[in-house]
Structure 1
Amino acid sequence: MFKKFLSVALVGVMVASMTACGGSTSTGASAAPAEKAEAVSEAPAEEAPAKPEAESEAASEGAASTDEAISAVAADTEGLDVKNLTLAYVPTTMNNPFWSAMMGGIKDEMKALGMDPETQLVTVDADSDQAKMNNFVYDLINQKVDAVILAPMDTTAVTEALQACADAKIPVINVDTPVDRNDLVESIVASDNYTAGVLCAQDMLEKLDPGSKVYIMNQPSGAACVQREQGFRDTVGDTFEIVGTSDTEGDTATTLPVAEDAITADADLGAFFCINDMGALGCVQAAAAAGRNDILIYGVDGNPDFMGYVKDGSATASAAQQPSVIGSTAVDEAINAINGKTVDKEVVVPVELITGENISNYDISDWQ
């Protein structure tokens, strides 16, 4: 398992790239206790491709220097009786091991702070329904929870629930998918999804010949998915021929027939780039059925259920997220917001590419 680390952006830098995608997955166990997040310097800028000019200009206008922007996040409990607090966890859905792993990080950090998650954490399952999520939030307000850790299904439709929390003076920590009205949340904690696409693209550029055919499985409705695809496209440029793009919602069953058709249509198809591991799994299944073990297949998440395919070579790589670190960091930010202490407006949790070449360095039985 690679060292847990994160960077804290004190201004509005990288919000658009700090989101993650949904998609149906098999159920999984909660993550093992997360290591405390440790701050390190980001990779040199020249290692990643330049972002669009407008985005670069915006970053330069508002960004703090690298040294100023990177620090460890920790809860400041001075003068606060944490045993009398109640936190709420409102994920997009609990039918995905990513969210279970994040909840594991939340519980572990609560325990580390002397809290009892069995009695001080309220968890709801919106089942990927924003209207249902909003109703849960209204109930949580009536229960007088002290803070809400929330990942929206719809970044716009969640606004009324966020406004209700603001009116009730209940701080919201926005995880995974940044909401439209970030003025209504105390902090945004999420993965660097643009870089996830960049890492997959860089690896593909090393392994696939120029001019090769590539098919993209995306999900335009998810901001994270859009950023992952953008990072991939910006990096590969016109090196490859993108022969098709399909919205398969990050779902294995939906992706499978699309991948089968793509393989049938192009006998010389070279690779699939998928916005998450469960979509990539559909491509793995299609390639296996067609006897095409030469096709490169990339996913994003670092889902333990997918890592076995990377290990045996059925899949090429996955840009791994750290959901437990996102969860533990969200707890720290929630405590600081409740206690009137400094809260980091944005926290970017890095991703790392796991390939067949480096997989032995990781504990693939669990999330990173």
Structure 2
Amino acid sequence: MKKVIFALAAIGLLLTGCGGATLDKSDDSDTKGAVAEKKPEELVVGVSISTLNNPFFVSVRDGINELAEENKTKTIISDAQNDSSKQSNDIDDLIQQQVDILLINPVDSSAIQPAVEAANQANIPVIALDRSSDGGDVMSLVASDNVKGGEMAAQFLIETLGENAKIVQLEGIPGASATRERGEGFEKGAKDKLEIVDSQSADFDRAKGLTVMENILQANPDIDAVFAQNDEMALGAIEALKAANKTDVIVIGFDGNDDAIKSVENGDLTATVAQQPTEMGKLALQAAYDYFSGKTVDEKIDSPLELVKK
């Protein structure tokens, strides 16, 4: 009898060791990918946005809400205000409220990891928006191809100014995946063709974009162009350039928010690598619907990009 019990226990341990980690809310590792199906109107979706001071992320939120209203889905939305600690606390609150799924737009891709892991422990699936997490299990990332977008910006400057033009780059929040990827793409596209004379962080913020640009101009008064890793920094840079009477300097942004598109139309912002944030929000929520209907969800869902210029 003891031998039988020992054999059964060994089999149990073997099965446990072979079962992969899943986002399933059941404990049955033999049904990896299975989920208790729910209709959209039965779901409670927790949403953590990095900041609602940025029009881009307001549009992401609006896209989520538009599709949620159409399908009578309850959403609980929190604004991290670009504070990683606040975002972690917000996500803890959403986990305590037992939401069915989390849509997370991280402030910082590294700092968000413990919050993602906490959601994993609670068996709450996670979809990342625009920026990834450096760790934990994320079911899907809904984002534009940031590397490609950075390359598009570099190519536009080469076509417009020719090679060897002097360029300044305004970087986003250090640690954000979008910052790394847009910078990687831009520097790859610019290599041996453009001279990047300075590259500094302005935290994806318009006011900081203005201040950082003012400081850069003091050391580099003869630049030809600015690549800002988002439109908010680009619009701030334009104000600094105007104040310094540098109206011949080309500025290209990234995102395609409403203020940027208007600025392009007015002839202030030269161009922007435009994402579609409203569509991005809808794609993320649709991925949640697909998951709870038993469909396979891609690990990476691409949101389209286009270059917008006058």
* TM-score w.r.t. length of structure 2: 0.82
Residues 1:136 and 2:90 are matched in the alignment? yes
Residues 1:268 and 2:222 are matched in the alignment? yes
* Cα pair 2:37 2:294 within 8 Å, conserved: no
Equivalent residue letter for 1:166: N
Task: Measure the CA separation in 1 of the matches of 2:63 and 2:249.
Answer: 35
Counterpart of 2:252?
Answer: 298
Residues 1:344 and 2:301 are matched in the alignment? no
Task: Measure the CA separation in 1 of the matches of 2:38 and 2:195.
Answer: 58
Q: Name the larger-Rg structure.
A: 2
Counterpart of 1:50?
Answer: none
What aligned pairs does 1:211-250 form with structure 2 within 5 A after superposition? Answer: 211-219=164-172, 220-250=174-204
Identical-residue share of aligned pairs (%): 35
Residues 1:193 and 2:146 are matched in the alignment? yes
| Pairing partner for 1:106 from 61, 64, 72 | 64
- Post-superposition offset of 1:296: 0.7
Residues 1:124 and 2:78 are matched in the alignment? yes
Summarize deviations over 1:192-238 as a string: whole Å, max 9, x none: 11111111111111111322211111134322122112211211222
What aligned pairs does 1:5-16 form with structure 2 within 5 A after superposition? Answer: none
Deviates more, 1:133-142 or 1:98-107: 133-142
Provide the aligned length of Structure 1 versus Structure 2: 274
Residues 1:81 and 2:81 are matched in the alignment? no
* Cα pair 1:177 1:190 within 8 Å, conserved: yes
More helix by share: 2
- Give structure 2 stretches of 5+ with no counterpart: 1-35
Deviates more, 1:228-237 or 1:248-257: 248-257
Residues 1:334 and 2:288 are matched in the alignment? yes
Task: Measure the CA separation in 2 of the matches of 1:212 and 1:142.
Answer: 53
Q: Which has the higher contact order (CA 8 A, sep 6+)?
A: 1
Task: Measure the CA separation in 2 of the matches of 1:199 and 1:333.
Answer: 28
Task: Measure the CA separation in 2 of the matches of 1:82 and 1:252.
Answer: 37
Against the structure 1 CA distance between its residues 265 and 134, is the aligned structure 2 distance closer, same or farther, given a 3 Å change threshold?
closer
- Post-superposition offset of 1:352: 0.8
* Cα pair 1:105 1:328 within 8 Å, conserved: yes
Equivalent residue letter for 1:212: A
2:224 aligned counterpart, secondary structure:
strand
> Cα RMSD over matched residues?
2.0
Against the structure 1 CA distance between its residues 169 and 198, is the aligned structure 2 distance closer, same or farther, given a 3 Å change threshold?
same
* Cα pair 1:174 1:187 within 8 Å, conserved: yes
| Pairing partner for 2:113 from 144, 159, 180 | 159
Against the structure 1 CA distance between its residues 268 and 159, is the aligned structure 2 distance closer, same or farther, given a 3 Å change threshold?
closer
- Post-superposition offset of 1:146: 1.0
Residues 1:210 and 2:163 are matched in the alignment? yes
* Cα pair 1:172 1:334 within 8 Å, conserved: no
